Amino acid sequence: DTIAFETMNQRSSRSKTTERVTFGLYPFFLLLFISIVFAMPSIVSGKQYEGIDLDADAQIRIGVKKRIKDCRTKSKKGDRLSIHYVGTLYKDGKEFDSSLERQTPLNFRVGNDEVIAGWDMGLINMCVGEKRKLTIPSRLAYGDVGAPPHIHPGATLVFEVELVDILGPSGEDDDAYDYYSKDHIYSF
């Protein structure tokens, strides 16, 4: 009986030691796993302002910064929108354009190829007063050509936008043409 009891004690002691070692390594491996999971997106795609653009085939990122609780009308394809915006480069955060500086919102027809494709996608279903952050890969912006000298080839663009108004029909086919024919476009 005594020998059997000692043997059980020894077994019990051994499994507790094994449990302690196993449990002691568990937090280490969990921490390692979490570090790898959180590091992978920045390795693969780069984080904003780290000197790397998103892959051209990346999806547009649409973040809502200000929601409107009582929204009765949302923007839809073909609507004339009045938008305030600030455009920056994803790569380094450098601002390249802002309607706020000019104190004049941009008016255009959404979904009518009057602006970059990322805007046509990212400004649908917005409420007046809503603010969004659009992160637009180059294929939905200016592509491999860019818009020199301020927008480099392959640039990922970030826009902070606010829908100022959904305008009534103007009778004009191309509101953006009038806006972009102004002198400020050449001052880039």
Catalytically annotated residues:
85, 96-97, 116, 142, 159
User: Which residues are within 8 A (CB) of 129 and not within 5 positions of it... i.e. 6 or more apart?
Assistant: 66, 68, 162, 163
Task: For the chain, report the end-to-end CA distance as a whole number of angstroms.
Answer: 92
Residue recorded with tokens 């020894």: 10
- What the block records as the tokens of 26 is 């568990």
Burial pattern 40-79, b for ≥16 Cβ within 10 A else e, equals eeeeeebebeeebbbeeebebbbeeeeeeeeeeeebeeeb
Burial pattern 116-145, b for ≥16 Cβ within 10 A else e, equals bebbbbbbbebbbebbbebbbbbbbbbbee
Which of helix, strand or coil describes residue 127? strand
